[in-house]
Structure 1
């Protein structure tokens, strides 16, 4: 089984997946957690140079999705974490969401430019990643998790419920369109 954990940069994907193993153990699902490897796809992109170019305006690397798909091929029982994770085969897709204002603040605090933080906040308000994930995988595979004002441990517990099948699919519950007005 492959589980994708995706969302706009700054929604808490990396932090939550780093805490996921302990949450699975707390849920008495030690057998499940032992079989899953967490793949931080952005690290793979960097370490394996799986990008086509560097976008100077956005100060980011342009991922080579075909090369990343080839790298992931044959890797099962994984949790793939990245804002790109929904572009690849997955049995379940957890889409982490966050209100645009705190999202923008998080991104600025970690050193992103104002332009990049604003672009990501707008993307979050427009449901860009959620819409892409639903289009790619269908509503029955999507598990939307609002991380706004939630601790990383609470988000990791929600992810554990997705992994163990103790949570129903959901999409469209978080509504941040008011940010755009």
Structure 2
């Protein structure tokens, strides 16, 4: 089973998925942003945003090949990236964070004020959540609010998504007052 863990940069995806992988032998986590860089699965470099433009078709093919070749016995393949919702998945966990807190997290890790503000606005507008619902449907999307949660609590919420013990949810989190 594939589970995509997505959300605006800074919502806690990588930290939570790493904790999930440490806690569970049946979970194989792939950090897609590392794959994109390491395998050069991008079409261009966006100098202004200091990022790359991922080749989603090439990334999807890489994930399919990886999944077919893996022999670790893991039952669950967890895909971690702000782009994960663009790939095939059985379930999609969308991590959310209040825009003000998100911008601070991004600035604290060295992102520019412009990039932090752009991502905070994207979070307020539900961009990733909307795309996830459009691509996978309401019954496959699980919104997880991370602003006041510990990484361990977020990891536990992800485990519930993986296990199918959490009900799908989308649209419960509202940050429009940020705008």
Scaled to the shorter chain, the TM-score interval is: over 0.9
Spell out the pairing of 1:66-85 with structure 2 (5 A cutoff). 66-74=57-65, 75=67, 77-85=76-84
Q: Counterparts of 2:117 and 2:158 in 1: how far apart (Å)? A: 27
CA displacement at 1:73 relative to structure 2: 1.1
- Equivalent residue, structure 2, for 1:58: 49
CA displacement at 1:21 relative to structure 2: 3.2
Segments of 5+ residues of structure 2 without an aligned counterpart are 69-75
Spell out the pairing of 1:98-177 with structure 2 (5 A cutoff). 98-177=97-176
CA displacement at 1:69 relative to structure 2: 0.7
Q: Counterparts of 1:18 and 1:126 in 2: how far apart (Å)? A: 27
CA displacement at 1:36 relative to structure 2: 2.5
> Contact 2:143 / 2:170 at 8 angstroms: preserved in 1?
yes
The 3-state SS of whatever aligns with 2:52 is strand
CA displacement at 1:22 relative to structure 2: 4.6
- Equivalent residue, structure 2, for 1:21: 21
CA displacement at 1:149 relative to structure 2: 1.0
Q: Counterparts of 1:43 and 1:114 in 2: how far apart (Å)? A: 24
> Contact 2:21 / 2:29 at 8 angstroms: preserved in 1?
no
The alignment's TM-score, normalised by the length of structure 1, stands at 0.92
**Number of positions where the alignment pairs a residue of Structure 1 with one of Structure 2:** 171
CA deviations over 1:40-73 (Å, ceiling 9, x no partner): 0000001101111110111101101111011011
What stretches of structure 1 move > 4 A for 4+ residues in a row? none
CA deviations over 1:61-117 (Å, ceiling 9, x no partner): 110111101101141631000000000000000000000000000000000011110
